[in-house]
């Protein structure tokens, strides 16, 4: 899961970055509306956390441009002015949720989980694929109800494959979903992560199929 934080209060932004990264998300941050608009136009994200009072371009204008481009990425708005008028404007422009500052990081993380589930079209924290189960809240995976020991990178990789189970996921898509700006992850590194993940989850009918030259697909082989 890749999240963009658009927040000009660096102390708050640093707290959000630490909290969300510790939960296993890939997180990027910008501090102005113009930077947010440019990032959203050129990169794919699973969630936008948007402060309204951004310099150089107001948060509502960032949101308006995002929706005008046809993007359906979930948007959580942060605002110091929790007025009905601002909430109405934001909702009319396509915001999904609001949080008034100050707020609890625990509550924000819960809302992030809810919005990312909504973006995937599911209401559950649990993703199942045959005997394989992934708990998005606890960031743990199980096979036949036995917990599988996975690294943070393997967990993130499995989550992306599960969200697109039965569909091809290219190496470029994996890099885009797993990596933050400035983080160098080569296609060879993706192959290594896939190899390690296979050794841990390919039990019974679960397989990560390689589509040569194109990418990977999480499959469930019929008995």
* Domains of the chain, residue spans: 2-119, 126-218
Could you tell me if 37 and 68 are in contact, meaning their C-beta atoms sit under 8 angstroms apart? no
User: Which pTM does this prediction carry?
Assistant: 0.76
pLDDT value, residue 153: 85
pLDDT value, residue 218: 93
Residue 82's pLDDT band (cuts 50, 70, 90): low
Largest CA-CA distance found in the chain, in angstroms, rounded: 58
In this predicted model, what pLDDT tens digit does every residue of 122-173 receive, in sequence order? 656 788 888 999 988 788 999 989 999 998 889 889 988 988 889 999 988 8
pLDDT at 223 over 60: no
pLDDT at 119 over 80: no
pLDDT at 81 over 80: no
pLDDT at 37 over 60: yes
Specify the pairing of strand 75-79 against strand 47-51: parallel
Q: What order do you get walking across the sheet with 169-170 strand by strand?
A: 169-170, 215-220, 206-211
- Distance (Å) of CA 87 to CA 24, 47, 77: 30, 18, 9
Q: Do domains 2-119 and 126-218 have the same CATH topology?
A: no
pLDDT value, residue 114: 86
Residue 217's pLDDT band (cuts 50, 70, 90): very high
The answer for residues whose C-beta is within 8 angstroms of residue 92's C-beta and 6 or more apart is none
The CATH fold of domain 2-119: Rossmann fold (3.40.50)
pLDDT value, residue 175: 84
Mean pLDDT of the chain: 89
Residue 70's pLDDT band (cuts 50, 70, 90): very high
In this predicted model, what pLDDT tens digit does every residue of 13-31 receive, in sequence order? 999 999 998 888 889 999 9
pLDDT value, residue 12: 94
pLDDT value, residue 186: 78
pLDDT value, residue 33: 97
Most confident of 53-57, 136-140, 176-180, 213-217: 53-57
Could you tell me if 9 and 21 are in contact, meaning their C-beta atoms sit under 8 angstroms apart? no
Selecting from 1.10.645.10, 1.10.10.10, 3.30.230.70, 3.20.20.110, what CATH number does the domain 126-218 have?
Answer: 1.10.10.10
For 44, the 3-state DSSP assignment is: coil
């Amino acid at each position: 899961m890749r999240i963009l934080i658009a927040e000009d209060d660096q102390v708050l932004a640093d707290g959000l970055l630490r909290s969300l990264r510790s939960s296993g998300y890939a997180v990027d941050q910008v501090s102005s509306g113009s930077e947010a608009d440019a990032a959203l136009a050129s990169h794919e994200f699973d969630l936008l956390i948007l402060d309204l009072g951004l310099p150089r371009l107001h948060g509502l204008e960032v949101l308006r441009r995002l929706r005008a481009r046809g993007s359906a990425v979930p948007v959580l708005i942060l605002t110091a002015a929790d007025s009905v008028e601002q909430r109405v404007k934001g909702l009319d422009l396509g915001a999904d949720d609001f949080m008034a500052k100050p707020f609890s990081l625990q509550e924000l993380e819960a809302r992030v989980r809810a919005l990312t589930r909504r973006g995937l079209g599911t209401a559950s924290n649990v993703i199942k694929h045959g005997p394989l189960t992934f708990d998005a809240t606890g960031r743990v995976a199980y096979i036949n109800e036995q917990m599988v020991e996975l690294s943070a990178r393997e967990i993130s990789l499995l989550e992306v494959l599960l969200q697109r189970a039965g569909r091809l996921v290219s190496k470029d898509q994996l890099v885009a979903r797993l990596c933050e700006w400035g983080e160098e992850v080569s296609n060879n590194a993706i192959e290594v992560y896939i190899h390690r993940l296979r050794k841990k989850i390919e039990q019974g009918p679960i397989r990560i199929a390689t589509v040569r030259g194109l990418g990977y697909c999480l499959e469930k082989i019929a008995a």
